[in-house]
Chains A and B, each alone.
Chain A
Amino acid sequence: MIESQQFEAFMKAYQNMVFSTAVRLLGNPAEAEDVSQEVFLKAYERYEELKDSQTVGGWLKTVTRNLCLNHLSRYRARWRFFSEMFSERDDDESTPEWAAPDTHEQTVAAGDHRQLLETALNKLPETQRVPLVLYHFEEMSYEEIAAKLRVSLSKVKTDIHRGREALRRKLKLKLAGEEEWGGLQGAENPCAT
Chain B
Amino acid sequence: MDNDKEKQLEELIHRELRNLPEVAAPPTLLHRVMLAVHENARRPWWVRSWVNWPLGMQMISLAVLLASAGLVSYFLGAAWDGFNVTSMSSRVVESFAWLKPIWEIVSALVGAAAVMLRVTGQQFLLIGAAIVVLAYVTCVALGTVCVRMAFYRPERFK
Contacts and interface: CB of A to CB of B under 8 A. Distances in A.
Interface of A: 4, 7-8, 11-12, 15-20, 23-24, 29, 33, 36-37, 40-41, 44-45, 78-79, 82-83, 86-87, 90, 94, 96-97, 114, 117-118, 121, 123, 125-126, 132, 136-137, 161, 164-165, 167-168, 171, 173, 175-176, 183-184
B17 A121 contact: yes
Nearest to B52: A45
B23 A24 contact: yes
Contacts of A123: 158
A161 B6 contact: yes
Nearest to B48: A45
B8 interface: yes
18 contacts: A4-B38, A8-B30, A15-B30, A16-B23, A18-B25, A19-B25, A24-B23, A33-B28, A40-B29, A41-B40, A44-B40, A94-B158, A118-B23, A137-B17, A161-B9, A173-B16, A175-B5, A175-B12
A161 B3 CA distance: 12
B21 interface: yes
A126 B156 CA distance: 7
Give the interface centre of B5, B10, B16, B36 by most chain A CB atoms within 10 Å: B16
A23 B23 CA distance: 8
Contacts of B20: 114, 117-118
Given A7-B34, A33-B25, 17 more contacts: A7-B37, A17-B22, A20-B22, A36-B25, A37-B32, A45-B52, A83-B148, A90-B157, A94-B158, A96-B158, A114-B21, A123-B158, A136-B14, A137-B17, A168-B9, A173-B12, A175-B8
B interface, size bucket? 35 or more
A27 B156 CA distance: 9
A121 B34 CA distance: 30
B86 to A, nearest CB: 50
Contact of B17 (A29, A37, A117, A183): A117
B20 to A, nearest CB: 6
Specify which of B22, B23, B40 lies most central, judged by the most chain A CB atoms within 10 Å of its CB.
B23
Nearest to A78: B151
Nearest to B36: A41
A71 to B, nearest CB: 13
Contacts of B40: 41, 44
Contacts of A19: 22-26, 29
